[in-house]
Amino acid sequence: MAKKRFCYDYPRPMVTVDCVLLRVHERRLEVLLVRRGAAPHKGAWALPGGFIRMKEPLEAAVARELAEETGIRDISFLIQLGAYGNPDRDPRGRVISVGFIGIIPGEGPEPQGGDDASETRWHPVETTPKALAFDHASIIGDALLRLAAGGRTSGVLFAFLKDPFTADGVRDVLHAVYGVELNPREYLAPYLKEGIVRRAGKAGKYRFVGERR
């Protein structure tokens, strides 16, 4: 069967997805990075991601790339962050990337490098490598700003916790995201009032039952 070919009057951009995958480990916020095993930026640290397939939804592309490059499949939260389209962001040509924020509940499994990732490792967000590939430093910065803002107005921070969770667990997440000690019971109070979080029956245990945004 002959290979299907396409011809257009105008050049078409390529599309990729990149995921800022986050977890809380020992009261620190960490991001998962992969070391690129191929050009461009071979040997540099980067966000997990890659080119989408023609009939693949964006979220499915993120899940596939994470599984292929890191072996991680258990994600409690995934949301689109934004599009990144600087014409010079990728030396391979006109590549537009759709960024996502993903969250791992608890510490999650240890990642295993695969596909075109020669290595994969969790990095504290305040000490990520300086020379990240492409514009991934900007994508991470945008994700952290979005997370900090969303943590004040939505239930996104509960995605870092496995149900049932405790007030101490909430305290650790708040410290990881904001870098200061906050009262977890004061933080929980409005969510309890709105029914987004409920007591889990056992003393000091809670469950998230609302919708994360």
Residue 173 to residue 158: CA distance in whole angstroms: 8
Residue 182 lies in domain = 161-208
181 in catalytic set? no
Residue 34 to residue 44: CA distance in whole angstroms: 8
If asked whether residues 109 and 144 sit together in one domain, one would say: yes
CATH assignment at residue 47: 3.90.79.10
Euclidean distance between the first and the last CA atom of the chain, given in angstroms as a whole number: 46
Three-state DSSP at 60 gives helix
User: Of the listed 119, 126, 181, 211, which one is catalytic?
Assistant: 119
Number of domains in the chain: 2
Instruction: Give the Å distances, CA to CA, from 141 to 2, 60, 135.
Output: 46, 24, 10
If asked whether residues 38 and 79 sit together in one domain, one would say: yes
Residue 158: closest CA among 82, 95, 211: 211
Question: Among 102, 120, 151, where does a domain finish?
Answer: 151
pLDDT (tens, 9 = 90+) of the chain, 213 residues, equals 567 777 778 888 999 999 999 999 999 999 999 999 888 999 999 999 999 999 999 999 999 999 999 999 889 899 999 999 999 999 999 999 999 999 999 988 888 877 677 799 999 999 999 899 999 999 999 999 999 999 998 999 999 999 999 999 999 999 999 999 999 999 999 999 999 999 998 778 999 998 766
